A and B are shown apart, each in its own frame.
Chain A
Amino acid sequence: MNVEIAGLTRRFGRTQAVAGVDLEAGPGVFGLLGPNGAGKTTLLRMLATVIPPSSGRLRLLGRDPGGYGGRRQIRRRLGYLPQNLGYYPGFTVAEFVEYFALLKEMPPGRVPGAVAAAVERVDLGDKARAKLRTLSGGMLRRVGIAQAIVNEPDLLLLDEPTAGLDPEQRVAFRALLRDLGQRATVIVSTHLVEDVGAACSQVALMDVGRIVFHGTPDELTGRAEGTDAAGDAPLERGYSAVLAAARATAGARS
């Protein structure tokens, strides 16, 4: 298993952003769904070793990220696309991707080829020498994906990766996800359930810091059966049904 989580929590002062998450994930594309404030981004930041958990057990790629040595090994094999990715306006696309390839301690000899491949995979080959300040929001998002995959990571964490992409690019991105998921664990946090349906083999749904559903997209769709959950697509109705059930249970407990 590339991701092993048990009882993971994270607090920010009095706010409990992640409240006891258990999760295991191997190779494949894993969708992380949930409403705003559910704790998806906080969970991804812990998985990306940006922030440490407040409590719980976390193992990534078979290593404990609590120690610096393990964390450094994990980071070499990790790709991460934050929800709000900034950029250096003066860098070119290739320089930006190369910069992060070097920061991920890729062997220098492999960097030029890996950069070119990553840029091609996000369909920005003709923009490789363009300055980032000249790119559109969708293109910048693809640059962010390129820097995340440049080191061919074994664990790829993508927070809202399709935000800003046009439909054509989104379709292409799903294909890319499926390809990456053949050998790596790809965790995609998104609000767009159609992305999950099209690309993910597993899906988890978070609400108020907890995972309230874990299964396949089909199982999530099945949760809508026999309910009057709202939604235009079957997966959306399953999403709504699970959330409604979880909130009802939580309300009954309180």
Chain B
Amino acid sequence: MTAATAPARPAPPRARRLPPAAGPARLLGIELRRSPMLWLLPVLAVLFYVSTYRPAMGNPPFWNIRGGMIQSHTMLVFAPLLAGAGAWVGSRDGRRGLADLVGMTAVPRWAGQVATWAAATIWAELLYLAGVGVLYAVTARQGAWGGPLWWPAAVGAATVAASCAVGFAAGARLPGRFTAGLAALVVFLALAGGAFAIQDNATYAQIWPLNVQGPFPPDSYGIFYPYLPDLAIAQVMFLAGLAAAALGVLGLPAGAGSRWLRAAAAAVTVAGLAAAGTAIGLAGTARVEPHGIVIPALHDAASDRPVPYTPVCSRGAVPVCLQPAYRAYLPDVTAALGPLLRQLAGLPGAPARVTQVVVTTVTSARENGIGFGGPVISGHPPVLYLPLSGLTLPGEGNTPAASFTANLRGQYGTAIVNDLVGLPSGSPAGTGVTGVNFELGPRHAAQFAIANALDQVLRLTGPWSVRPGARPPSRSLPAGTGANGAAASGSGTLAGSGAGAGSGAGAGSGAGAGGGAAPSAAQQQAAVDRFAALSAAARHAWLLTHLAALRAGRIALSEIP
């Protein structure tokens, strides 16, 4: 702009022929090159590593666990941050004093805003998808069984777009230096509120974007059964609707564009709200099935069929068979249950085979959420159906293999023994073998002693001993049974089944299968010690002969060798 030469205007350059879309594409290109989101990418990468990648590596290499973490862990930190970043980008023209200038250009304001939003969102999506790619690639290298789950990743991608859109709309409509922080806070509180709502079992709250498959253990979907995309479809619909509505609102003001463009913006807004509302309505119809959340209107019945697989089995008298995704844990499961299974092999009712299952029963209670049954023995020959969902697997959260085997032995081993010797089950259906939270009567004294002896010699619940007058840790003596063996409750369950002669006599004296008082703790302990002192072969031989009578409550403490 020199005074002497400035008037010499350069000849207008000859226009090159470019496609009509070249203008918007170049506009988007500039926005992509200069998007503030680029500055946020390193932060997002670090957050992805901390919130998702590192915890995922501390979990078993299951596609469903990794996919679920992408949806829940990543989005918990990404969504508020991206909403804040979106608000910052959206408020750019207002903060920078450029609202007048960009508001009087020929390109509709709405189109310009969408380009700005798109650039920011594209970067966020690319980083997110790169994170997903890395995590899934590492999972594949770890030899995970099956294939990656794309629906949780799709929900995450939709959450990214929706967070950016909601934040952008807030920033564009209310430009200010605090808008970004407020947008981030509001989105965070919305996510937190969703967590509380879903804990209250509100069905509509299933739409919560961090909700993967409700309360189900991870192996119920994507391993034993196909991943049910019903909820994810509704979530994507909800998030896409939210994003469309947020962006559509920007096109409604008079200066946003032509009448037709504003009508289109109104249509987009209405369609977005309708989609989000429909998705919430669909979530309200969701029901809990043993393999995931089913939304009838979106459900494909074909996905109810279990995923076919060839189990991996251990060799031995009682083979243990696991779903191949759990191949790495077969030695640990076998080590945990092997001694017990060998001790019980061949006994009537003892499992001839162990087969892993996903869940045995699902119970739903309004106040207590969802309950899943434990192991079940059924069939002829008997098969132990063993769920591993409730256990912390080796390597999960730095859990050592010894801890896993101890837990498996302690939780399920004792239950198997209880079931075998005829101790009543505490499960509602009467078939489960977990828990003995019921009142034992004297008729169960022998069963109780045998179970405790096996518990002791097989170290099912760890080293322990029964002190006189004290209760063993894994099995409770009958309520109302005093240390001296006197039946205090007078409960009807005691009639005709008590041990001893109602005298509280010493150990081994007069214990019978008839009525009377319960045996003393000393008598109980003596029987436990006697049976535990036998050789494994002797115990097995005695059980082979007497198990039926023991289960029927016809064995007295004194008859235990």
Given A72-B106, A102-B23, A102-B107 in contact, is the A117-B3 Cβ separation under 8 Å?
A: no
Interface residues of A in 124-165 (CB under 8 A from B): 124, 142, 147, 152
Asked if residues A176 and B97 are in contact (CB atoms below 8 Å), the reply is no
A-B pair number, CB within 8 angstroms: 136
Question: Which residues of chain A are near B367, meaning CB under 8 Å?
Answer: none
**A78 CA / B7 CA spacing, docked (Å):** 20
B488 at the interface (CB under 8 A from A): no
- Of B9, B15, B34, B106, the contact of A105 (CB 8 Å cutoff): B106
Asked if residues A80 and B6 are in contact (CB atoms below 8 Å), the reply is no
Question: Which residues of chain A are near B4, meaning CB under 8 Å?
Answer: 175
**A169 CA / B193 CA spacing, docked (Å):** 59
Asked if residues B13 and A112 are in contact (CB atoms below 8 Å), the reply is yes
Q: Say how far A100's CB is from chain B's closest CB, in angstroms.
A: 7
- Of A76, A91, A113, the contact of B34 (CB 8 Å cutoff): A91
**A75 CA / B2 CA spacing, docked (Å):** 29
Asked if residues B10 and A102 are in contact (CB atoms below 8 Å), the reply is no
Q: Say how far A223's CB is from chain B's closest CB, in angstroms.
A: 29
**A9 CA / B2 CA spacing, docked (Å):** 39
Asked if residues B98 and A86 are in contact (CB atoms below 8 Å), the reply is yes
Interface residues of A in 59-109 (CB under 8 A from B): 68-69, 72, 75-76, 78, 80, 82, 84-88, 90-91, 95, 98-100, 102-109
Asked if residues A120 and B27 are in contact (CB atoms below 8 Å), the reply is no
- Of A50, A69, A102, A176, the contact of B7 (CB 8 Å cutoff): A176
- Number of A residues contacting the other chain (C-beta, 8 Å)? 56
Given A82-B100, A86-B98, A122-B1 in contact, is the A113-B13 Cβ separation under 8 Å?
A: yes
A32 at the interface (CB under 8 A from B): no
Q: Say how far A151's CB is from chain B's closest CB, in angstroms.
A: 9
A30 at the interface (CB under 8 A from B): no
**A11 CA / B93 CA spacing, docked (Å):** 24
Question: Which residues of chain B are near A116, meaning CB under 8 Å?
Answer: 13
**Binary interface encoding of chain B residues 88-114 relative to chain A, with 1 for a CB under 8 A from any of its CBs, else 0:** 000011011110111111110000100
Asked if residues B257 and A82 are in contact (CB atoms below 8 Å), the reply is no
A204 at the interface (CB under 8 A from B): no
A205 at the interface (CB under 8 A from B): no
B17 at the interface (CB under 8 A from A): yes
Q: Is the interface of A mostly helix, strand, loop or mixed?
A: helix
B22 at the interface (CB under 8 A from A): yes
Asked if residues B30 and A99 are in contact (CB atoms below 8 Å), the reply is yes
Q: Is the interface of B mostly helix, strand, loop or mixed?
A: loop
Q: Say how far A39's CB is from chain B's closest CB, in angstroms.
A: 16
**A80 CA / B17 CA spacing, docked (Å):** 28
A212 at the interface (CB under 8 A from B): no
Asked if residues A90 and B97 are in contact (CB atoms below 8 Å), the reply is no
**A69 CA / B102 CA spacing, docked (Å):** 17
Asked if residues A117 and B10 are in contact (CB atoms below 8 Å), the reply is yes
Q: Say how far A98's CB is from chain B's closest CB, in angstroms.
A: 7
**A142 CA / B6 CA spacing, docked (Å):** 13
**A166 CA / B18 CA spacing, docked (Å):** 40
Question: Which residues of chain B are near A49, meaning CB under 8 Å?
Answer: 104
Asked if residues B105 and A104 are in contact (CB atoms below 8 Å), the reply is yes
Asked if residues B12 and A113 are in contact (CB atoms below 8 Å), the reply is yes
**A73 CA / B67 CA spacing, docked (Å):** 51
Question: Which residues of chain B are near A110, meaning CB under 8 Å?
Answer: 12-13, 15-16
Question: Which residues of chain B are near A45, meaning CB under 8 Å?
Answer: 100
Question: Which residues of chain B are near A103, meaning CB under 8 Å?
Answer: 27, 102, 105-107, 112
Asked if residues A178 and B7 are in contact (CB atoms below 8 Å), the reply is yes
Closest 9 CB pairs of A and B: A113-B13, A86-B97, A109-B16, A103-B105, A86-B96, A123-B1, A179-B7, A108-B22, A109-B15
Interchain Cβ contacts under 8 Å between A and B, 8 examples: A82-B101, A85-B101, A87-B96, A105-B107, A107-B18, A175-B7, A176-B6, A179-B6
Chain B residues close to A by CB (< 8 Å):
1-4, 6-7, 9-10, 12-18, 22-23, 26-27, 30, 33-34, 36, 92-93, 95-98, 100-107, 112, 257-259
